[in-house]
């Protein structure tokens, strides 16, 4: 008992640990996605801001070209100052006449010189095919202070107009107290750095996101930092843990259902049918008067991969109530001529019976399948079908038509479990039965209550009156066989003669039996048959 409690406690502890781990992982993934979406949204917002500034600057460069500018004297600087005040959003405007010293621009505070290291035209990016508009990152001297900013330039017939676009060094989505939570870089298409914000680097980076501009040759690289994801995860635990627990329970429930299904009889039967593990075992039907084998009943058996045989009582009801029964029955029908090829060839009057469920009679597919098989040479005249009274037929009219279709092919029709279930006289009247099989229940009365065999006698008398052949099932004792013979029941089936056997075993059994009783028919042209007491061979 203590060991069981220990195992249960261990299982609960392991399960709780699993749920906790799943909750943490789910929270982390949720936070990662949350931060990733936020970084993407912020990067797009920053890119939109930069694109807007660039668009405004491009338009204002065109307007600057309309301004009368003679030189970088006091009047020229005043002109630039007025233009600057009218276009404050655009940036700092500069002008250079083409005949003036290169890389020297005029601004509102005087001349601005481009740094020596940024005077290579190969570093500029052109915005048009005529190479009149450029965008580049350049260093410059601003009143004795070295700076570096983004510049747009427009070359006209006599001068070059330029505008310095100074980007912010901080944005609303950058927390002052958490600089190492983010990292954003704005670059030109050639890789030149325009703006660098934040301090997340190296192993602290979980993911990198690139957002390119569709209007200008620039892009933004942003990172998803581990510190920010962990912070978001901790903030979201109160929401994600309950969701994770529910999700975990749902997963375990689904796994349990799948596991249960895999171990369910229906699922295992489906696999068994697919693997053709359900095969026919054949139990002989004997003429107890002569010992001659007149037929056999095909009984489905489940041969497991390890060679063990599953008892039909463990699965037959589930099989009959599922659609699998259709496939299995057709497999038995198709396999029978191959299983019993030698028997069928040597004994033309031999018949093998196969059990049908009501749907095989109420729907035309089974009869139609036999018609097709018959056209391909199937020995329908050596086939018998057993209709059981254990299951009800809902449409006797349809069943009757399908029975007649099968009888026209030479198929023998047998009523199994007669007197034990549904149908009774209606089956005998509507279905044109050839053979009645007396159930073991009545055969057992010959031993248990030999003075109470009225039902058995009534069934035998009814069959004789209707001109039907009789087969007694479940014969296990010699006294039963003898009593049945005395009542005129020659055809018997049961463990007294043989148990159900595999096809190979049955053929061997038939061969031995055939040799033992052949002399009884050596000088006779007649052998026992299930349809009619005797048939010409």
**pLDDT tens readout for residues 177-228:** 566 778 889 999 999 998 888 877 777 888 899 999 999 999 999 988 888 8
Block residue for tokens 């089956």 = 427
What is the structure's pLDDT at 7? 46
Question: What per-residue confidence (pLDDT) applies to 384?
Answer: 95
* Terminal C-alpha separation, the chain: 71
- Residues 316-352 as b/e (b if ≥16 CB within 10 A, e otherwise) read beebbebebbbebbbbbbeebbebbeebbeebebbbb
Residue whose token pair is 């190479």:
131
Q: Is 304 helix (H, G, I), strand (E, B) or coil?
A: coil
Instruction: Write out the residue range of the structural domain in which residue 19 sits.
Output: 15-263
Structural domain contains residue 434: no
* DSSP secondary structure string for all residues of 189-234: TT--EEEEEE---GGGEEEEEEEE-SSSSEEEEEEEEHHHHHHHHH
Sheet holding 183-188, edge to edge: 193-198, 183-188, 218-225, 205-212
In this prediction, residue 387 carries a pLDDT of 86
Answer yes or no: is 477 within a domain: no
In a domain, 285, yes or no: no
Strand 412-418 to 110-114 pairing? unpaired
Query: Quick one: tokens of 500?
Result: 């159900």
Measured torsion, CA atoms of residues 288, 292, 293, 295, in degrees rounded to the nearest 10: -80
Query: Residue 421 falls within a domain, yes or no?
Result: no
Q: What pLDDT is attached to residue 535?
A: 42
Per-residue model confidence as pLDDT tens digits over 254-274: 766 666 655 677 788 888 888
pLDDT of residue 262: 54
Strand bridging mode 92-97 / 159-165 = antiparallel
Tell me if 329 sits within 8 A of 359, measured CB to CB: no
Say if 335 falls within a structural domain.
no
Q: What is the pLDDT of residue 175?
A: 63
Number of domains into which the chain is organized: 1
Q: What is the torsional sign of CA 471, 476, 478, 483?
A: negative
Distances (CA, A) of 185 to 46, 47, 124, 208, 504: 11, 11, 19, 11, 81
Sign of CA dihedral 493, 498, 501, 506: negative
What tokens appear for 366 in the block?
A: 């089974």
Residue 456 structure tokens: 């058995």
Say how far apart CA 106 and CA 53 lie, in whole Å.
22
> In this structure, what token pair is assigned to residue 270?
């489906």
Interacting residues of 502 by C-beta distance below 8 A, sequence separation 6+: 279, 281, 282
SS3 content of the chain, % helix, strand, coil (to 5): 45, 25, 30
- In a domain, residue 361? The reply is no
User: According to the model, what pLDDT value does residue 316 have?
Assistant: 82
Query: What is the predicted pLDDT for the residue at 116?
Result: 86
- Walk along the chain (537 residues) and give the pLDDT tens digit of each residue: 444 444 445 555 676 677 777 778 878 888 889 889 988 998 999 899 889 888 988 898 889 888 888 888 888 888 888 888 888 777 788 999 888 888 899 888 888 889 888 888 777 889 888 889 999 998 888 878 888 889 999 998 889 999 988 777 666 666 665 667 788 899 999 999 988 888 777 778 888 999 999 999 999 999 888 888 888 888 877 776 677 677 767 767 776 666 665 567 778 888 888 889 899 999 999 999 988 999 999 999 999 888 888 888 888 888 888 888 889 999 999 999 999 999 999 999 999 999 988 888 888 999 999 999 999 999 999 999 998 777 778 888 898 899 999 999 999 999 887 766 655 667 777 788 899 999 898 899 888 888 888 888 888 998 888 889 999 999 999 999 999 999 999 999 999 999 999 999 999 999 988 877 666 654 444 566 766 554 433
Exposed e or buried b for every residue in 277-297, given b needs 16+ CB within 10 A?
Answer: bbbbbbbbbbbbeeebbbbbb
3-state class (DSSP) for residue 417: strand
Q: What is the pLDDT of residue 480?
A: 93
In this structure, what DSSP letter does residue 118 have? Answer: G
- Give the integer Cα–Cα distance in Å for 116 and 6: 79
CA angle 204, 207, 213 (to 5 degrees): 125
Residue 247 lies in a domain: yes
pLDDT the model gives residue 483: 93
Give residue 422's pLDDT.
59
Q: How far is CA 218 from CA 14, 51, 129, 200, 319, in A?
A: 52, 9, 17, 21, 69
Domain membership of residue 428 (yes or no) is no
């Amino acid at each position: 008992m203590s060991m069981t409690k220990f195992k249960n406690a261990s299982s609960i502890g392991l399960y709780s640990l699993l749920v906790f781990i799943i909750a943490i992982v789910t929270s982390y993934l949720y936070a990662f996605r949350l931060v990733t979406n936020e970084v993407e949204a912020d990067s797009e917002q920053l890119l939109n801001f930069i694109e807007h500034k660039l668009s405004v600057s491009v338009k204002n460069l065109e307007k600057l070209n309309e301004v009368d500018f003679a030189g970088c004297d006091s009047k020229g600087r005043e002109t630039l100052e007025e233009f600057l005040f009218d276009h404050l959003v655009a940036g700092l405007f500069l002008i250079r006449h083409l005949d003036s010293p290169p890389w020297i621009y005029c601004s509102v505070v005087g001349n601005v010189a481009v740094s020596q290291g940024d005077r290579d035209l190969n570093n500029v990016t052109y915005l048009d095919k005529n190479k009149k508009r450029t965008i580049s990152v350049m260093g410059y001297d601003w009143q004795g202070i070295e700076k570096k900013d983004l510049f747009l330039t427009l070359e006209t017939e006599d001068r070059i107009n330029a505008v310095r676009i100074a980007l912010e060094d901080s944005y609303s989505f950058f927390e002052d107290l958490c600089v190492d939570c983010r990292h954003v870089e704005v670059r030109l298409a050639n890789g030149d750095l325009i703006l660098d914000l934040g301090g997340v680097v190296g192993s602290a980076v979980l993911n990198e996101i690139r957002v390119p501009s569709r209007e200008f040759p620039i892009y933004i690289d942003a990172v998803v930092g581990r510190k920010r994801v962990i912070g978001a995860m901790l903030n979201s635990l109160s929401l994600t843990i309950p969701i994770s627990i529910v999700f975990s329970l749902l997963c375990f429930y689904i796994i349990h259902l799948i596991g249960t299904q895999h171990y369910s009889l229906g699922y295992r039967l489906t696999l068994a049918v697919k693997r053709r593990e359900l095969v026919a075992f054949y139990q002989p039907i004997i003429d107890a008067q002569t010992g001659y084998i007149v037929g056999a009943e095909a009984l489905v058996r489940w041969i497991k991969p390890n060679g063990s045989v599953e008892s039909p009582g463990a699965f037959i009801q589930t099989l009959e109530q599922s659609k699998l029964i259709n496939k299995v029955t057709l497999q038995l029908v198709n396999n029978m001529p191959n299983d019993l090829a030698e028997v069928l060839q040597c004994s033309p009057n031999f018949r093998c019976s196969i059990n049908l469920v009501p749907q095989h009679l109420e729907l035309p597919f089974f009869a139609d399948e036999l018609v097709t098989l018959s056209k391909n040479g199937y020995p329908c005249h050596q086939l018998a079908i057993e209709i059981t009274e254990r299951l009800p037929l809902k449409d006797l009219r349809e069943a009757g038509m399908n029975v007649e279709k099968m009888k026209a092919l030479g198929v023998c029709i047998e009523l199994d479990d007669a007197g034990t279930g549904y149908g009774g006289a209606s089956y005998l009247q509507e279905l044109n039965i050839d053979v009645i099989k007396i159930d073991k229940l009545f055969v057992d009365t010959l031993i248990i209550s030999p003075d109470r065999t009225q039902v058995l006698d009534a069934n035998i008398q009814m069959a004789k009156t209707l001109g039907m052949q009789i087969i007694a099932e479940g014969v296990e004792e010699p006294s039963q066989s003898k009593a049945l013979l005395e009542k005129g029941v020659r055809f018997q089936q049961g463990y007294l003669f043989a148990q159900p056997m595999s096809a190979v075993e049955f053929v061997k059994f038939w061969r031995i039996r055939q040799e033992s009783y052949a002399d009884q028919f050596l000088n006779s042209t007649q052998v026992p048959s299930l349809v009619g007491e005797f048939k010409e061979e």
